[in-house]
Chain A
């Protein structure tokens, strides 16, 4: 087990005009489950492949523990890419299917058996070790594939969108299993996904990337509660945070005909700007006497809660189509009706996020 450290690591593709990964600075703790997340082309997969040795590091360094691995070939890095090999061999037992790579590595039989047994216990596969793999279910095959990586006892597990090839149901159960396993094993893991829900539910910490740049790295809740910039605010959370632009006025920001109060010291940070972007999570909006007037377009009830989708009131049909959608999670027994108008306000001013439109950065604490 080991730490992983990206130090100003940069990858420029031949012919590329800007880096695919730009001066990535990221410290991953021993035993930590780090998720790299972002939209396609953000550099998350390239970062993982730099760590794996598949992509050259043009500038900067990468360390695994105290070893500089920047220029080492993949096989000398003591890492395991999980799920890259799914094939199950029909003549071999499940135990041999899990342990054959150890044989190739010249590890003695007694040691191989011990490691396979340990992995099988972790994976709930002890009863299957002596069987041939033919009748295994999809989930069991996944676990054998996981077992192949576990028995190698690498310093770091690397997983590149491991769930993208599974159907929806297997995806959810495998997600839970991977989280539980990695926690029990305590092996440092770097996991790449484009799915922020996957990232938020699995990672100890999540690194959000965009255009080759690390935007923010933090615990899932810190990302959710304190997004550092507009991109992270919009990317993390689903339904997404409402991001509403307004003009700076005395005492706050005017949106439509309502002034959302913003503290003077926050407004002071935006000296020279005339607009700000306010961010409010759907669950932090409440129906109030005073607030943003919203025309309700759709109400979606999910058990005790409901999501209200609407647009700013007073727009004509053409404007409505282009207008930004506002989403609120309303936990009332009598949700507003479709076609009516409601006023929404922030439940607690502390729950409002304020961003500079010019720098995109967060202005409040």
Chain B
């Protein structure tokens, strides 16, 4: 009988056909969603209304990843939510099957390949890299050594005009109390190599805009990371006449989306010089504030945009003296909720609520400019739904999987199986594989000391 390890048990997982290898699961349990190529068997499975990702891996890896993801999730780092590890699986002939790690599918998430398949402008690539670098810095801040930084191991979500990156593969990760510079440099070296490979691959697949050069893109990752890391952790020294620089530093960190939980301030013995260094910073400056005021849980840049709109709402409705939480409540009921409610059910899979609100605000700004009048919010919403939303692809359950990179997949559930139009010429003969085939199954775990002695005979001790 399979055994379920989970801190949030979902009983609907239990009746699934665990006695079958994932690659043989019947289609009525599967969903074709866009995803990267994996060295393991990965399938998206339907469980009630929810979609989960299932990955077949060796037991120690499955448990390791489950625990790491749980830890990252607890630390509030953007990563997929682990749900369960199913061990002790036996096949129909009682042969043992590898355990399965189940994670929640991140709604409205986009693998980089499906973004590039739609054609990506160079600013968008910059935004994707910014999101990846921010994720990497946040992981490094909590002591997570990733070990396999790559676009394939990340999912992107729209975040107002930017992107938010989520870690999806923690297999190679390690949690440390604090990372050394060498560990961070190691992750960066892996990141540049992997991303260079991924960009070259997109280039080879004619999916990378000609104006983009893989080398320059990866160089920019290093520059972006180092700049961000210096701002988040670097020390700054100034004279006592420049006290305003403390406030300035905090504001810069807020603008980057971070709250300063601990700032070390040291003064020189005579008090004429100061040295400040952030010791603990927490991401989510804007999203936390919005959550506190409105209960809305959205991405950081969406929160920034919504908070700006909330401030405008407050100023316009002359409520400057009213308690912020009261105003926030009115803003939700009078602005935010009506816009989201106006979206017809069949279009809700295109974008999530906060992103729609952000896009409506953009739409209204352009419409107002164009028509030289202030377009009311609900009118703008109707226009946005008509002109924009209906033309967008469904991103909740995106259909690109079947046409990944503009080509049709041989197996819609498994991009690793290649494309329909791939040539099917026979594989060349591989003498090494033949040797492997003829090797006996590994026997009991004994050290064959006689073989070892025989091997080292030519050079007697």
Chain A interface (Cβ < 8 Å from any Cβ of B):
13-15, 49, 52-56, 73-75, 84-92, 96-97, 100-101, 103-104, 123-124, 127-128, 131-132, 134-135, 137, 139-141, 143, 164-165, 167-169, 171-173, 177, 196-197, 200-201, 219-222, 224-225, 237-239, 283, 302
A171 neighbours in B (Cβ, 8 Å): 442
| Least Cβ–Cβ distance between A324 and chain B, in angstroms | 20
Known: A87-B152, A103-B200. 8 other contacts (CB 8 A): A14-B178, A92-B201, A100-B196, A100-B200, A101-B193, A101-B196, A127-B429, A134-B422
Which of B178, B180, B186, B430 contacts A124 (CB under 8 A)?
B430
B261 neighbours in A (Cβ, 8 Å): none
Contact A56 B182 (CB under 8 A): yes
State whether the Cβ of B427 lies closer than 8 Å to any Cβ in chain A. yes
B150 neighbours in A (Cβ, 8 Å): 87
A200 to B452, CA, bound (A): 8
State whether the Cβ of B386 lies closer than 8 Å to any Cβ in chain A. no
Which of A73, A89, A221 contacts B452 (CB under 8 A)?
A221
Contact (A139, B418) CB under 8 Å given A73-B185, A100-B196, A167-B58: no
Contact (A92, B204) CB under 8 Å given A87-B197, A124-B432, A177-B432: yes
| Least Cβ–Cβ distance between A73 and chain B, in angstroms | 5
| Least Cβ–Cβ distance between B144 and chain A, in angstroms | 14
State whether the Cβ of B39 lies closer than 8 Å to any Cβ in chain A. yes
Q: Quick one: CB contact mask for B429-461 with A, threshold 8 Å, 1 for yes?
A: 111110110010110111111001100100001
| Least Cβ–Cβ distance between A141 and chain B, in angstroms | 7
Chain B interface (Cβ < 8 Å from any Cβ of A):
37, 39, 58, 60-61, 98, 145, 147-148, 150, 152, 171-172, 177-178, 180-183, 185-186, 189-190, 192-194, 196-198, 200-202, 204-205, 214-215, 218, 405, 415-418, 422, 427-433, 435-436, 439, 441-442, 444-449, 452-453, 456, 461
Contact B196 A104 (CB under 8 A): yes
A168 to B443, CA, bound (A): 10
A302 to B450, CA, bound (A): 14
Contact (A53, B39) CB under 8 Å given A85-B193, A89-B200: no
Contact A128 B428 (CB under 8 A): yes
| Least Cβ–Cβ distance between A317 and chain B, in angstroms | 28
| Least Cβ–Cβ distance between A194 and chain B, in angstroms | 11
Name, among A56, A173, A225, A237, the residue most crowded by chain B CB atoms within 10 Å (CB to CB).
Answer: A173
Contact B445 A134 (CB under 8 A): no
Contact A172 B439 (CB under 8 A): yes
| Least Cβ–Cβ distance between B263 and chain A, in angstroms | 21
19 pairs, CB–CB < 8 Å, chain A vs chain B: A53-B182, A84-B147, A84-B172, A85-B197, A87-B198, A88-B37, A89-B198, A97-B197, A101-B193, A104-B196, A132-B418, A139-B432, A167-B58, A169-B441, A172-B439, A172-B442, A201-B447, A221-B452, A238-B447
A84 neighbours in B (Cβ, 8 Å): 147-148, 172, 190
A265 to B447, CA, bound (A): 33
B186 neighbours in A (Cβ, 8 Å): 52-54, 74
Contact (A141, B39) CB under 8 Å given A164-B60, A197-B447: yes
B435 neighbours in A (Cβ, 8 Å): 173
Main secondary structure of the interface of A (DSSP, over half): helix
A97 neighbours in B (Cβ, 8 Å): 197
Contact A239 B147 (CB under 8 A): no
A54 neighbours in B (Cβ, 8 Å): 145, 180, 182-183, 186
Contact B446 A238 (CB under 8 A): yes
| Least Cβ–Cβ distance between A46 and chain B, in angstroms | 11
A220 neighbours in B (Cβ, 8 Å): 452, 456
Contact B416 A139 (CB under 8 A): no
Nearest CB in chain A to that of B176: its residue:
A13
Which of A52, A96, A123, A131 contacts B200 (CB under 8 A)?
A96
Contact B201 A91 (CB under 8 A): yes
A172 neighbours in B (Cβ, 8 Å): 439, 442
A164 to B447, CA, bound (A): 18
A97 to B218, CA, bound (A): 17
| Least Cβ–Cβ distance between A15 and chain B, in angstroms | 7
Contact A238 B445 (CB under 8 A): yes
Contact A224 B196 (CB under 8 A): no
A103 to B199, CA, bound (A): 12
B197 neighbours in A (Cβ, 8 Å): 85, 87, 89, 92, 97, 100-101
Contact B61 A196 (CB under 8 A): no
B145 neighbours in A (Cβ, 8 Å): 54
Contact B432 A75 (CB under 8 A): no
Contact A92 B200 (CB under 8 A): yes
A308 to B178, CA, bound (A): 50
B415 neighbours in A (Cβ, 8 Å): 90
Contact B182 A55 (CB under 8 A): yes
B445 neighbours in A (Cβ, 8 Å): 197, 238
Contact (A222, B201) CB under 8 Å given A90-B418, A127-B430, A239-B446: no
A87 to B405, CA, bound (A): 17
A100 to B215, CA, bound (A): 11
Contact A91 B204 (CB under 8 A): yes
B148 neighbours in A (Cβ, 8 Å): 84-85, 87
A239 to B204, CA, bound (A): 53
A86 neighbours in B (Cβ, 8 Å): 39
> Which A-B residue pairs are the 4 nearest by beta carbons?
A127-B428, A89-B201, A91-B205, A134-B418
| Least Cβ–Cβ distance between A120 and chain B, in angstroms | 12
A216 to B415, CA, bound (A): 49
Nearest CB in chain B to that of A129: its residue:
B428
| Least Cβ–Cβ distance between B52 and chain A, in angstroms | 23
Nearest CB in chain A to that of B151: its residue:
A87
A168 to B436, CA, bound (A): 12
A196 neighbours in B (Cβ, 8 Å): 447
| Least Cβ–Cβ distance between B461 and chain A, in angstroms | 6
Contact A165 B447 (CB under 8 A): no
A360 to B194, CA, bound (A): 48
Contact A237 B447 (CB under 8 A): yes
Which of A49, A96, A219 contacts B204 (CB under 8 A)?
A96
| Least Cβ–Cβ distance between B445 and chain A, in angstroms | 6
B446 neighbours in A (Cβ, 8 Å): 197, 238-239, 302
A17 to B316, CA, bound (A): 61
A200 to B451, CA, bound (A): 11
Nearest CB in chain A to that of B178: its residue:
A14
Which of B183, B192, B430, B456 contacts A140 (CB under 8 A)?
B430
Contact B439 A173 (CB under 8 A): yes
A221 to B453, CA, bound (A): 7
Nearest CB in chain B to that of A283: its residue:
B449
Contact B452 A90 (CB under 8 A): no
A13 to B177, CA, bound (A): 9
A201 to B447, CA, bound (A): 8
Contact A89 B189 (CB under 8 A): no
Nearest CB in chain B to that of A222: its residue:
B461
Name, among A75, A88, A104, the residue most crowded by chain B CB atoms within 10 Å (CB to CB).
Answer: A104
Which of B39, B60, B189 contacts A87 (CB under 8 A)?
B39
A128 to B432, CA, bound (A): 13
A103 to B204, CA, bound (A): 14
B204 neighbours in A (Cβ, 8 Å): 89, 91-92, 96
A74 neighbours in B (Cβ, 8 Å): 182, 185-186, 189
Contact B417 A165 (CB under 8 A): no
Nearest CB in chain B to that of A106: its residue:
B215
A88 neighbours in B (Cβ, 8 Å): 37, 39
Which of A55, A90, A237 contacts B37 (CB under 8 A)?
A90
